[in-house]
Amino acid sequence: MLDNYIKQKVDLVSYSQVELSNIANTLSYLKNIVNNQPDFREPFLGGSYKRATMVKGVSDVDVYFKYVGNGNPQSALSVLKNGLMRSYPTTIIKQDKPSILVDFLKIPFNITPYKEDNWGNLSIPDKYLLSWQTMSFGELEQNIIALRRQNSKFIDLIKILKLWNFNHRKGIKNFEIEKRVCSLYLGRQLYQNSLSEMMIHFFNNNGYQSDAVKMQLLRNNIHSNSNYNWINFIENRKTYF
């Protein structure tokens, strides 16, 4: 029963096909705008959107544009931000480190410049916006693809853990949750057959024993109204248990 409640919550925080189509249209328009700027080329998608692990209210859409100018990271971000502000004058556009943050249709977009050297190595601005730091793209995407082929439940697990992490303010980066799930399960025999068991296993293996105990109580259905208790737990309301 608890697993049904978990799956229902996963479905509620997952983007529908219509919403994903709207995101794709926004991305297409955004690419046309940035590509028309002389200092930017060759965009590509990354992050949870590309890996299909986005969660409403938690995840953003990561877009990377190749910077071919001669400036430092701060200069690249300034050029990118100014170009976006000209095209979206009524939209709130903020500079972060190392990205530009924009909300389109209440969906956050994280737009980051990158550079490519003669050997194909990619780099993005460092946190001080003074130099470019090498980044490895693609490995996590391949691992998530392999994990999904192994068992599609792992994608649901990632999504519900992202929601738990966000609501409980655990401070784990979204991509780090995906890495940890891959580390636990990728290429290994699955001993947990349900989402609730997987959550307990994740908690116990990542130092969140108190959350594992609460999940086990929910599984054992010690308290009445288990769906009410589950919602209170995952949304971090103070009235659960």
CATH code of the domain in which 34 resides: 3.30.460.10
In tens digits, what is the pLDDT along the chain, a chain of 241 residues?
889 999 999 999 998 888 888 888 888 888 888 878 889 887 888 889 889 999 998 988 898 989 998 889 999 999 889 888 888 888 889 988 889 998 887 788 899 999 988 898 899 999 888 899 998 878 899 999 999 999 999 999 999 999 999 999 999 999 999 999 999 999 887 777 899 999 999 999 999 999 999 999 888 875 556 788 889 999 988 765 5
Question: Do 94 and 165 belong to one domain?
Answer: no
Region of 199 please: left (phi>0), alpha (psi -120 to 50) or beta: alpha
Q: Say how far apart CA 44 and CA 218 lie, in whole Å.
A: 42
Domain membership of residue 1 (yes or no) is no
Domain membership of residue 144 (yes or no) is yes
Q: In the prediction, which pLDDT does 224 show?
A: 59
The owner of tokens 């959550």 is 199
Question: Do 149 and 114 belong to one domain?
Answer: no
Q: What is the DSSP letter of 63?
A: E
Question: Do 28 and 118 belong to one domain?
Answer: yes
Domain membership of residue 160 (yes or no) is yes
Question: Do 132 and 202 belong to one domain?
Answer: no
Asked whether 220 and 214 are in contact (CB, 8 A), the reply is no
Question: Do 39 and 76 belong to one domain?
Answer: yes
Q: In the prediction, which pLDDT does 241 show?
A: 56
Element (H, E) at 226: helix 226-234
Question: Do 32 and 62 belong to one domain?
Answer: yes
Question: Do 34 and 117 belong to one domain?
Answer: yes
CA distances from 167 to 88, 231, 238 (A): 31, 11, 12
Domain membership of residue 187 (yes or no) is yes
Domain final position from 136, 165, 185: 136
Q: Comparing C-alpha atoms, which of 164, 177, 169 is closest to residue 233? A: 164
Q: What are phi and psi of 101, to 5 degrees?
A: -105, 125
Domain count, the chain: 2
What is the separation of C-alpha 66 from the centre of its chain, rounded to a whole number of angstroms?
21
Domain membership of residue 239 (yes or no) is no
- Print the domain residue range for 58: 17-136
Domain final position from 136, 167, 192: 136
Asked whether 63 and 45 are in contact (CB, 8 A), the reply is yes
Q: What are phi and psi of 46, to 5 degrees?
A: -145, -165
Q: In the prediction, which pLDDT does 77 show?
A: 92
Domain membership of residue 197 (yes or no) is yes
Question: Do 45 and 123 belong to one domain?
Answer: yes
Question: Do 165 and 111 belong to one domain?
Answer: no
Domain membership of residue 101 (yes or no) is yes
Question: Do 56 and 123 belong to one domain?
Answer: yes
Q: In the prediction, which pLDDT does 197 show?
A: 95
Question: Do 96 and 198 belong to one domain?
Answer: no
Question: Do 34 and 118 belong to one domain?
Answer: yes
What tokens were used for 86?
């000209």
Domain membership of residue 224 (yes or no) is yes
DSSP-derived secondary structure for 96-142: -SS-EEEEETTEEEEEEEEEE-TT--EEEE-TTSSSEEEE--SHHHH
Q: What is the DSSP letter of 43?
A: E
